[in-house]
């Protein structure tokens, strides 16, 4: 159903496929206005953008794609600015963007790991820098981190050794509540079992 005014304005990063795409659809069906943060909307992920638009029409829900590359501060700023311009507020940010790598730890160069940290860790900070000032101004808001249980033994034994940097934001997220609580912006995290990324239908 469409947002009747009681729903939230929500941004989900990394929403072109997998958990991100499914989260966008579930939140929209619950009556919220959901922006799917997707990079390279006109090229690499054009099909995902078209699928999302068709889903919104078919289910009469308020979903739309917004260009968002979490490795770019300008892109994060522009995505949040667009939501604020169109909705006047931003209530929830779901940090889902991230890469998963499979293989022995020594198989990856330092440069490759740095690229992963740039997406999985620093990407959340870029989006937070864009969003948190508005959440403080509103006096309310919710930050949600989607992590991975694989770092705590949740990876299937049949998979090669996994080396994701996503848990590195856990101490950073844990350090945020005192400051965020004073401004009513509450951090939360959720760690689903690992699953291969798959397009949502």
Can you give the three-state secondary structure of 26-57, one letter per residue? HHHHCCCEEEEEECCCCCCCHHHHHHHHHHHH
Q: Mean pLDDT, to the nearest integer, of 68-82? A: 98
For the chain, give every domain's residue range: 9-190
The residue that leads in pLDDT, 145 or 59, is 59
Distances in Å between the Cα of 146 and the Cα atoms of 41, 99, 105, 124, 137 are 22, 12, 22, 11, 25
Calculate mean pLDDT across residues 105-109.
83
Q: Is 113 exposed, middle or buried (0-12, 13-18, 19+ CB in 10 A)?
A: middle
Residue-wise pLDDT for 24-73, tens only, equals 999 999 999 999 999 999 999 999 999 999 999 999 999 999 999 999 99
pLDDT over threshold 70, residue 7: yes
Confidence class of residue 2 from pLDDT cuts 50, 70 and 90?
low
**What is this structure's pTM?**
0.81
Provide the pLDDT for residue 118: 92
pLDDT tens for each residue of 13-28: 999 999 999 999 999 9
Q: What is the pLDDT of residues 165-190, one digit of tens each?
A: 554 455 555 555 555 545 545 555 55
pLDDT band, residue 153 (cuts 50/70/90): low
Across 77-91, 104-118, 176-190, least confident range: 176-190
Share of the chain above pLDDT 70, in %: 71
Write down the CATH superfamily of domain 9-190. NAD(P)-binding Rossmann-like Domain (3.40.50.720)
Nearest C-alpha neighbor of 13 from the set 89, 74, 65: 65
Q: What is the pLDDT of residue 174?
A: 55
**What element of type H or E holds 115?**
helix 110-117
**Residue 192 banded pLDDT, cuts 50, 70, 90:** low
In the predicted model, what is the mean pLDDT of residues 93-117?
86
pLDDT given for residue 184 in this prediction: 46
pLDDT of residue 104: 75
Average pLDDT over the chain, rounded to an integer: 82
């Amino acid at each position: 159903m469409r947002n009747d005014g009681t729903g939230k304005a929500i941004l989900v990063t990394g929403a072109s496929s997998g958990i991100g795409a499914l989260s966008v659809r579930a939140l929209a069906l619950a009556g919220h206005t959901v922006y799917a943060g997707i990079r390279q909307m006109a090229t690499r992920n054009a099909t995902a953008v078209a699928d999302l638009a068709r889903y919104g029409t078919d289910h009469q829900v308020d979903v739309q794609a917004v260009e968002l590359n979490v490795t770019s501060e300008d892109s994060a700023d522009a995505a949040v600015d667009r939501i604020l311009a169109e909705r006047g507020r931003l209530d929830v940010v779901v940090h889902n963007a991230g890469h998963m790598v499979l293989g022995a730890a020594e198989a990856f160069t330092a440069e490759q790991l740095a690229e992963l940290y740039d997406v999985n860790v620093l990407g959340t900070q870029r989006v937070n820098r864009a969003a948190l000032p508005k959440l403080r101004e509103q006096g309310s808001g919710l930050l949600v981190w989607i992590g991975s249980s694989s770092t705590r033994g949740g990876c299937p034994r049949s998979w090669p050794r996994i080396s994701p940097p996503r848990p590195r934001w856990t101490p950073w997220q844990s350090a945020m509540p005192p400051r965020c609580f004073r401004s009513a912006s509450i951090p939360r995290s959720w760690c689903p079992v690992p699953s291969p990324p798959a397009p949502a239908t």
